[in-house]
């Protein structure tokens, strides 16, 4: 595996996870109540949009943490660069990844049970309940995963790799909704 190809794929997945989460969150939370009328007027579109962004967010996030040996994922990227990285720096990166992967584990469960392999016995609420995770924590994990990928890419600042800066797509979504008003 080539580290450049994997890193490019990681940037794409981090961009997708963060972008889709931020757009979904703007629609299901930030836009209410002031823009509920616009969303109600175009309810078919917004129901489909919300579902698509929710689904895509969890699919892209799961790409980052996929443990399969043939995937472009953080575990495989770290395995590829281990031999060329400075040992002390690599230990720090590996420790940060381990912490992030631990925090992301509940979201991978959500992806498995509500998106990729919909659990026949559990509702979305049943899946989220035992995980004891808030939407604020979900956002934090997704944004931290994107920031970690940017750091691996050597980005000089947030947004330099094309991963949107925090808040940009939420703001754009709300601006679009206001324009429909």
pTM recorded for the entire structure: 0.92
Q: Which residue do the tokens 């330099």 mark?
A: 160
**What is d(CA 118, CA 121) in angstroms, rounded to the nearest whole number?**
9
pLDDT confidence of residue 69: 93
In the predicted model, is pLDDT for residue 8 greater than 80? yes
Better pLDDT: 36 or 54: 54
**Chain segment 42-74, per-residue pLDDT in tens:** 999 999 999 999 999 999 999 999 999 999 999
| Mean pLDDT in residue range 119-132 | 91
- Report yes or no: 110 and 103 within 8 Å, Cβ to Cβ: no
Task: Express as a percent the part of the chain with pLDDT over 70.
Answer: 99
pLDDT confidence of residue 159: 86
**Chain segment 138-172, per-residue pLDDT in tens:** 999 999 999 999 999 999 888 889 888 888 899 99
- Report yes or no: 22 and 169 within 8 Å, Cβ to Cβ: yes
- Report yes or no: 43 and 174 within 8 Å, Cβ to Cβ: no
């Amino acid at each position: 595996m080539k580290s450049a190809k994997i890193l490019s794929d990681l940037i794409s997945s981090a961009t997708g996870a963060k972008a889709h989460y931020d757009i979904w969150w703007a629609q299901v939370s930030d836009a209410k109540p002031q823009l509920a009328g616009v969303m109600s007027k175009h309810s078919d579109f917004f129901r489909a949009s919300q579902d698509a962004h929710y689904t895509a967010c969890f699919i892209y996030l799961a790409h980052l943490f996929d443990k399969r040996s043939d995937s472009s994922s953080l575990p495989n990227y770290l395995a590829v660069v281990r031999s060329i990285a400075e040992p002390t720096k690599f230990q720090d990166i590996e420790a940060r990844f381990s912490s992030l992967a631990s925090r992301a584990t509940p979201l991978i469960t959500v992806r498995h049970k509500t998106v990729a392999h919909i659990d026949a016995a559990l509702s979305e609420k049943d899946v989220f309940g035992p995980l004891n995770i808030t939407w604020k924590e979900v956002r934090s994990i997704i944004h931290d995963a994107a920031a970690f990928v940017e750091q691996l890419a050597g980005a000089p600042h947030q947004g330099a790799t094309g991963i949107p800066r925090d808040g940009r797509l939420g703001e754009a979504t709300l601006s679009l909704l206001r324009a429909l008003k």
